[in-house]
Amino acid sequence: MEEREIIVGLDIGTTKIACIVGRINEFGKVEIIGMGRSESLGVRNGVVSNINHTVDSIKRAVEIAAERSGEEIDEVLVGIAGQHIRSLQHQGMLTRKVKDFDEEISQKDIDDLIEDMNQLVMSPGEEIIHVLPQEYIVDNERGIKDPIGHAGVRLEANFHIITGKVNAARNIYKSVSKADLDVIKLVLEPLASADAVLSEEEKEAGVVLVDIGGGTTDIAIFQDGIIRHTAVIPFGGNIITDDIASGCSILRKHAEQLKVKFGSALSSDSMENQIVCIPGFSGREPKEISVRNLSNIIQARVEEVIEQVIYEIKSSGYEKRLIAGIVLTGGGSQLKNLPQLVEYLSGYETRMGYPTEHLGKGNADELASPMYATGIGLVLKGQELLMHEKKKNPKKRSGGVRTGSKSKMNLFDQIISKGQRFFEEDEI
């Protein structure tokens, strides 16, 4: 029986760093064999701001995950987000050199077309992160989702291209490298989260994924099973905490505790006469906070974030084609009554997204929280990479990581060297 490869996802967030070690079982579910979490000390608004602090946080999370899983971790898929992320549409074309007009389009033709898109010249300081095919055109025949097996000379495709700042990506590579790890691939965080919490039916019907993290809110819009729009809003759960600390004149740590325990996105749901007492510091008297006032502060900021989400939905051009509505995930989405407020303001049916659909038995309770959606999605993206490599090289066997072994996943070696070549040319 062939041993299944170990895949490690590293979610470098603004508030936490999560390292999730998993493998895909025989039923296609994610079997988590270890998870480590640490406080994120060097990341601000989804971007590495202090490399040394980030390295320390990564090491702590990885050490915990390695101890719990019994695996030696040396390669990771890493999520990337931040306000610097942007997307664009582009059309590419490949003229196939065929000896016979009946020669079918292969995976290699698609890979060549995607590789050609990766060579596009970006604005100074930007680099392509993802090239995502939307639909293919074979000899002017449009609307083809999978062209493999079709006969044709001219292969065209509409692409959704996601780019990011070179320095932001380079800082991630540098931080992970200093933590004695190799980056297999950078993955846009909402794409990873989407794999973890969305069903294929929702992607087909039209759905908006809203991943609310500590520093950013990431958006991904799917329709007809295809990624249509991505965006990053530079607001997250932390700015709500800051508003509470400022509005109530209390310490930030107390503001976070208030938000988690008593906060609500709907002020009308809070009792007017409910009071919370905050301990004083340095001999000062305790401070009384009205729960209704707390909810007023939270709702004002949450409405601002939702307005930005609605703006992105309208900008995408798919406002009228989102049958499945909105799915909320991420640690910041756990705010009480948030789905109700989103549904009221946007008019779309809204639900919470939990990464339980793809988890095997025994993991669902521990990792069912929306805050782990990105980490679990990164494990799923790793499996997708493995399957793609096996499809390209069907005779090549994987040297999967074994317990206590220092061997690496040979299928990923080429991906790693290709991904790091650009970012490691210059020192930061």
Neighbours of 97 (CB within 10 A): 7
The answer to whether 65 and 21 have CB atoms below 8 angstroms apart is yes
- Residue 65 counted as domain residue: no
Kindly indicate the confidence band of residue 409, based on its pLDDT and cuts at 50, 70 and 90: very low
pLDDT tens-place string over residues 361-394:
665 567 888 999 999 999 999 988 887 777 666 6
The answer to whether 15 and 331 have CB atoms below 8 angstroms apart is yes
At residue 394, the pLDDT reads 60
Number of folded domains in the chain?
2
74-83, 323-332, 353-362: which is most confident: 323-332
**Range 189-217 burial, b when 16+ CB lie within 10 A, else e:** bbbbbbbbbbeeebbebbbbbbbbbbbbb
- Residue 329 counted as domain residue: yes
- Residue 407 counted as domain residue: no
Same domain, 216 and 298: yes
* DSSP tag of 74: -
- CA dihedral in degrees (387, 127, 214, 182; nearest 10)? 50
Residues whose CB falls within 8 Å of the CB of residue 286, separated by 6 or more in sequence, listed in order: 277, 278, 279, 280
The answer to whether 300 and 307 have CB atoms below 8 angstroms apart is no
Gap between the Cα atoms of 266 and 411, Å rounded? 49
Instruction: Give the Å distances, CA to CA, from 40 to 121, 213, 405.
Output: 34, 12, 29
The CATH number linked to 339 is 3.30.420.40
Which pair of structure tokens corresponds to residue 126?
A: 């930007």
Least confident window among 35-44, 120-129, 187-196, 384-393: 384-393
- Residue 155 sits in which domain range? 86-163
At residue 362, the pLDDT reads 61
At residue 317, the pLDDT reads 92
- Residue 74 counted as domain residue: no
Which pair of structure tokens corresponds to residue 78?
A: 């890493």
306 pLDDT exceeds 80? yes
pLDDT tens-place string over residues 122-160:
888 999 999 999 999 999 899 898 999 998 889 999 999
Same domain, 275 and 137: no
Supply the pTM of this predicted model.
0.86
Instruction: Give the Å distances, CA to CA, from 24 to 37, 141, 379, 381, 398.
Output: 21, 37, 9, 11, 14
- How do beta strands 182-188 and 75-80 pair? parallel
Q: Which of 321, 353, 385 lies at the terminal end of a domain, its last residue?
A: 353
